[in-house]
Structure 1
Amino acid sequence: MKLDLEQSLASMKAQVANYCEQKNIQNPIVVGIHTGGVWVAEQLMSAVPTKEPLATLDITFYRDDFTRAGLNPKVNQTQLPALEDRHVILVDDVLMSGRTIRAAMNEIFDYGRPASISLAILYDLGQHELPISADIVGEQLTLNPNQRVKLSGPQPLTVAVVDTD
């Protein structure tokens, strides 16, 4: 399966600009989830009506599988401004089970109570285990059970479907 990364990013940019206009969201805080979500968020920033710098979130310690044996996390830095009563656009590369997004929202609420959180996803795999859906989706994908999306970057930003077997 060949993915068109540029087309998916262009779709997201158009959707995020339209979404902010329809919802009257001005100067939102864009938060990228490390690592792929940060790369995608960097690509989206030009389409978002904001003067705020890109914020980043590392959800390592908020994951529900953190205590499982064998997890050796590489922890990145979380950089969030004050979120109280602000509109947040949360960005990640892939939505699969929804557990990463749940962890990200838990961390965001530890920093304050935003006015809203909108979710922007590059690829939605439709394999949700939690009732979480994206407001902005670059592309919906249906993969075989042994396939995953792998985003590499940041320069150049590339994507591939890889087999896990």
Structure 2
Amino acid sequence: MTSGTPVPDDVDASQATVVLGEQDVARALTRIAHEILERNKGGDELVVLGIPTRGVPLAYRLAERLAAVEPGLVAENLVGSLDVTMYRDDLAQHPTRTIGATSVPAGGIDGKVVVLVDDVLFSGRTIRAALDALNDLGRPRAVQLAALVDRGHRELPIRADFVGKNLPTSTSERVTVLLAETDGRTAVVIENGGAR
């Protein structure tokens, strides 16, 4: 276990390693915000959409950092959420899913640069579903992907443009992102047994 960072209460401490603490996550999001603004030469045409569940609070945190760095940007005008439930290719295996909400900033996504935000990039299937869901919303000029953690093991040719932490893992390990907004604390934890 990482020294000095407690394992979250709902994780078996004997099987877990904390790889990012609260400050590490904050620094990663700040760095990603700077990279997004640099790549896009500012934030005037950006829309930041979080993928539920934990991608949504990450998108809000990221929008706040973008607004803090770029004068004139208003976080609330940049950010929304993109529910991908009905676009997933595993509905037959997991038919009972709660359908979430999609919310897009007032200006829509047509002609904008959409930054999709997710907590963990793994097989790439969630992002494929997100791209299909975006198709039904409009036609962005470009789509970019920001992931807090890229753990590898891709099944589709999808890569993140902005990554908080590349985390080589085995398929038997589980990467868990905990956020204060949903879990009461912020950390990224690797557990042995069960992939995510």
Same structural fold, with TM-score higher than 0.5 when normalized by the shorter chain = yes
Corresponding residue for residue 133 of structure 2: 107
Q: CA deviation at 1:74?
A: 1.8
TM-score of the aligned structures, taking structure 2 as reference length: 0.76
Amino acid in structure 2 at the alignment position of 1:26: G
Superposed CA RMSD in Å reads 1.8
| Aligned partner (choices 10, 19, 28) of residue 11 of structure 1 | 28
User: Where does the alignment leave 5 or more consecutive residues of structure 1 unmatched?
Assistant: none
Q: CA deviation at 1:29?
A: 0.8
TM-score of the aligned structures, taking structure 1 as reference length: 0.89
SS at match of 2:153: coil
Corresponding residue for residue 129 of structure 1: 155
Establish whether residue 156 from structure 1 lines up as the match of residue 185 from structure 2: yes
For 1:55-87, what per-residue CA distance to the aligned partner results, in whole angstroms no more than 9, with x for missing partners?
00111100001122x431022111124211011
Asked whether the equivalents of residues 98 and 130 of structure 1 are also in contact (C-alpha less than 8 Å), the reply is yes
Asked whether the equivalents of residues 123 and 137 of structure 1 are also in contact (C-alpha less than 8 Å), the reply is yes
Q: CA deviation at 1:114?
A: 0.3
Q: CA deviation at 1:12?
A: 3.3
For 1:77-136, what per-residue CA distance to the aligned partner results, in whole angstroms no more than 9, with x for missing partners?
111242110111110000001000010011011100001111000000111111110110
Amino acid in structure 2 at the alignment position of 1:67: A
Alignment partners' CA distance in 1, 2:137 and 2:19: 36
**Count of aligned residue pairs for this structure pair:** 164
Establish whether residue 94 from structure 1 lines up as the match of residue 120 from structure 2: yes
Higher alpha-carbon deviation: 1-10 or 73-82: 1-10
Give the fraction of aligned pairs with identical amino acids, expressed as a percent: 33
| Aligned partner (choices 79, 88, 91) of residue 103 of structure 2 | 79
The structure number with the bigger radius of gyration is 2
Alignment partners' CA distance in 2, 1:145 and 1:36: 21
SS at match of 1:2: strand
